[in-house]
């Protein structure tokens, strides 16, 4: 009789409180893995793989939230800042110092990736005093995410209140990542990484909102809404790739249970609605034409089969690119409009708007526009003239982490003329010269040299070694040198210079060897004197005419040798290696 009365009471309570989808049957805890990660963390992809394996072994009981925070999450350029205010606060709370690391149900502090599986198994075997469920939807016309949360208490607790937390994560976020070989299934065909479960927002604040009544049989429900921005820190927020995880905690710690990741129901209010998501244009070195790239999405309930893409540069004449295809609701398309002419300015503005989806008026004109900008380096005074055409050479000396170094030499059309890296990383401080790469520079054409360090500390530090880069033209002029930078260095130049006046005869009769050299440099040919400079232009060694020069005291690296002869100064480049 008591059991019957209890069932009748519970049923009446739930009906009166409009409970619709949370279970009232006691259950074990679900496991919530909050994974602290970053794009410059070489072992983080292995952590992503381990997290996925834990989830795949328990698909109905495990949720993952990937939190990008700390030094390894420092951006590597526009569109790579995956950090959030809430994620940074959570990372700081746990005092995370090594990455990847994580917490499982916020019990026992952060732990290394080898501990996650055991911790998850322990949690999944524990009974929970509370069940939590969530439903979500996105209105594509208003860009509003709505989440309905229900909590039902099946047992008692020793604390007086709980916190309800609602996290929004995003899947399929393209970006850079160190150590991608640790999780090859997430590497995209273009070489970028496909990030999953990335924390984007906490709808209930960093530490959740209070649930005051947590007695056995208590029921809590709440609706949360979020008008989603187009991007977070320059990273596009893709409504069709979002997930929601709701979980209940004791204060900041001890997750009592959570939902799995819930995919919102996508609601298309309009039949014909094209969303102009983003646009970009290639920087130009000296050119007066550029390629424009436009990405748009079908926000209508009908398939999108045609669309007008209208564009102009610097307020000039508007042009239209007519697109045709067959794009399903929520489908995305990226098109390239090639060789669009413009009158160069230092900074150039491209205005894009879309119109006439399926040949009719767009039912939501608020999402039809986007703007982007690009540079023309010559007008901006950022192009170095006087570089001699012909065979150029690129010399890279890595520090302990050559795996962080990549570079490319591109022409004015954006074609890659030469490239290199990532190189082998030893982890041992020192300098590691790489084989010289050669590239042909065409006369009167413009080029850009771009070198990147994925960690963001360059390649020349006191801690890891004096790495460097040098680009030398056909006359032996080392016109691009460096090594001290943060994330990247770009140098642009024009191959319109005149070759050295030194005669070809003397060039062929004056030799220096060996190269690379360790101790003794031999000069074969007649000359008066020489000076050896480092890549920063500092005089390191000077000598009168000798057949051999002792360079054993020089540190490993690239040096420029100016040889004074009767015909003028000849410039050579040597690599000293120990």
Phi, psi of 52 (to 5 degrees): -65, -40
Name the residue ranges covered by the structural domains of the chain. Answer: 19-264, 274-375, 383-494, 504-576
578 in Cβ contact with 518 (< 8 Å): yes
Q: Which residue has the tokens 């049957």?
A: 25
For residue 268, give both structure tokens: 């298309």
Q: Give 3-state DSSP helix, strand, coil % of the chain, rounded to 5.
A: 15, 45, 40
CATH superfamily of 19-264: Immunoglobulins (2.60.40.10)
Query: For 187, left (φ over 0), alpha (ψ -120 to 50), or beta?
Result: beta
Residue 12's Cα: distance from chain center in Å?
Answer: 52
CATH architecture assignment, domain 504-576: Sandwich (2.60)
For residue 466, give both structure tokens: 């004096």
For residue 145, give both structure tokens: 């995410």
Do 19-264 and 504-576 share a fold?
yes
**pLDDT digits (tens), the chain, 578 positions:** 333 333 334 444 444 445 589 999 999 999 999 999 999 998 999 999 999 999 999 999 999 999 999 999 999 888 899 999 999 999 999 999 899 999 999 998 889 999 999 999 999 999 999 999 999 999 987 889 999 999 999 999 999 999 999 999 999 999 999 888 899 999 988 788 999 999 999 999 999 999 999 999 999 999 999 999 989 999 989 888 999 999 999 999 999 999 999 999 999 989 999 999 889 998 999 999 999 999 999 999 999 999 999 999 999 999 999 999 999 998 899 999 999 999 999 999 999 999 999 999 999 998 899 999 999 999 999 999 999 999 999 999 999 999 889 999 999 988 999 999 999 998 899 989 999 899 999 999 999 999 998 777 899 988 999 999 999 998 888 899 999 998 889 999 999 988 754 444 444 456 777 878 888 888 878 888 888 888 767 888 888 878 889 988 988 888 888 888 776 677 778 888 87
Rounded CA separation 156/216 (Å): 5
CATH of the structural domain 274-375, one choice from 3.40.1190.20, 3.40.630.30, 2.60.120.10, 2.60.40.10 = 2.60.40.10
Half-sphere exposure of 449 (CA within 13 A, CB side): 23
Q: What is the DSSP string of 144-211?
A: EEEEEEEEEE-S--SSS-EEEEEEEEE--EEE--TTGGGSGGGB-TTS-EEE-SEEEEETT-TT-EEE
Rounded CA separation 179/541 (Å): 41
Rounded CA separation 417/407 (Å): 11
The contacts of residue 174 (CB under 8 Å, 6+ apart) are 188, 192, 193, 194, 195
Tell me the β-bridge partners of 287: none
User: Among residues 174, 162, 156, 170, which one has the least CA distance to residue 201?
Assistant: 170
Q: What is the DSSP string of 518-552?
A: SSEEEEES--SEEEEEETTS-EEEEEES-SEEE-T
For residue 24, give both structure tokens: 């009232």
User: Among residues 182, 245, 210, 193, which one has the least CA distance to residue 53?
Assistant: 182
């Amino acid at each position: 009789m008591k059991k019957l009365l209890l069932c009748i009471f519970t049923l009446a309570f739930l009906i009166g409180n409009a409970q619709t989808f949370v279970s009232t049957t006691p259950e074990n805890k679900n496991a919530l893995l909050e994974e602290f990660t970053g794009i410059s963390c070489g072992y983080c992809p292995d952590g992503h793989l381990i997290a996925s394996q834990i989830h795949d072994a328990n698909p109905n009981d495990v949720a993952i939230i990937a939190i990008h925070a700390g030094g390894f999450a420092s951006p590597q350029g526009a569109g790579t800042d995956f950090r959030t205010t809430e994620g940074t606060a959570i990372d700081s709370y746990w005092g995370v110092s090594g990455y990847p690391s994580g917490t499982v149900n916020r019990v026992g502090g952060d732990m290394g990736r080898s501990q996650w599986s055991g911790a998850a198994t322990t949690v999944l075997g524990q009974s929970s005093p509370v069940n939590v469920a969530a439903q979500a939807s996105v209105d594509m016309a208003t860009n509003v995410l709505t989440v309905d949360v229900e909590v039902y208490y099946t047992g008692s607790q020793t604390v007086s209140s709980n916190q309800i937390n609602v996290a929004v994560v995003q899947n399929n976020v393209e970006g850079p990542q160190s150590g991608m070989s640790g999780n090859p299934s997430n590497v995209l065909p273009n070489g970028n990484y496909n990030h999953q479960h990335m924390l984007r927002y906490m709808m209930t604040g960093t530490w959740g909102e209070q649930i005051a009544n947590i007695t056995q049989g208590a029921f809590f429900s709440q609706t949360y809404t979020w008008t989603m921005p187009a991007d977070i820190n320059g990273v596009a927020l893709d409504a069709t790739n979002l997930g929601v995880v709701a979980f209940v905690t004791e204060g900041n710690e001890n997750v009592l249970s959570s939902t799995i990741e819930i995919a919102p129901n996508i609601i298309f209010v309009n039949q014909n609605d094209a969303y102009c998501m983003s646009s970009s244009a290639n920087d130009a070195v000296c050119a007066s034409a550029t390629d424009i790239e436009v990405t748009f999405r079908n926000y209508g309930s009908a398939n999108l089969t045609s669309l007008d893409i209208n564009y102009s540069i610097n307020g000039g004449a508007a042009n239209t690119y007519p697109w045709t295809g067959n794009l399903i609701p929520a489908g995305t398309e990226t098109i390239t409009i090639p060789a669009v002419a413009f009158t160069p300015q230092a900074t150039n503005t491209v205005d894009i708007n879309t119109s006439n989806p399926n040949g009719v008026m767009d039912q939501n004109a608020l999402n039809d526009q986007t703007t982007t900008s690009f540079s023309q380096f010559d007008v901006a005074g950022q192009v170095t003239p006087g570089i001699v055409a012909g065979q150029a050479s690129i010399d890279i000396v890595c520090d302990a982490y050559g795996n962080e170094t990549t570079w490319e030499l591109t022409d004015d059309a954006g074609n890659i003329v030469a490239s290199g890296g990532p190189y082998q990383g030893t982890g041992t401080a020192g300098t590691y010269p790489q084989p010289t790469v050669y590239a042909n520079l065409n006369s009167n054409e413009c080029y850009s040299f771009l070198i990147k360090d994925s960690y963001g500390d360059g390649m020349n530090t006191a801690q890891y070694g004096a790495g460097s880069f040098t680009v030398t033209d056909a006359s032996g002029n080392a016109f691009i040198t460096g090594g001290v930078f943060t994330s990247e260095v770009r140098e642009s130049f024009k191959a319109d210079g005149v070759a050295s006046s030194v005669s070809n005869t003397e060039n062929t009769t004056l030799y220096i060897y060996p190269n690379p050299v360790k101790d003794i440099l031999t000069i074969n040919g007649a000359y008066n004197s020489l000076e050896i400079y480092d890549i920063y232009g500092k005089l390191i060694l000077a000598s009168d005419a000798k057949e051999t020069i002792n360079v054993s005291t020089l540190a490993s690296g690239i040096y420029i040798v100016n040889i004074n002869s009767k015909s003028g100064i000849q410039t050579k480049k040597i690599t000293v290696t120990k």
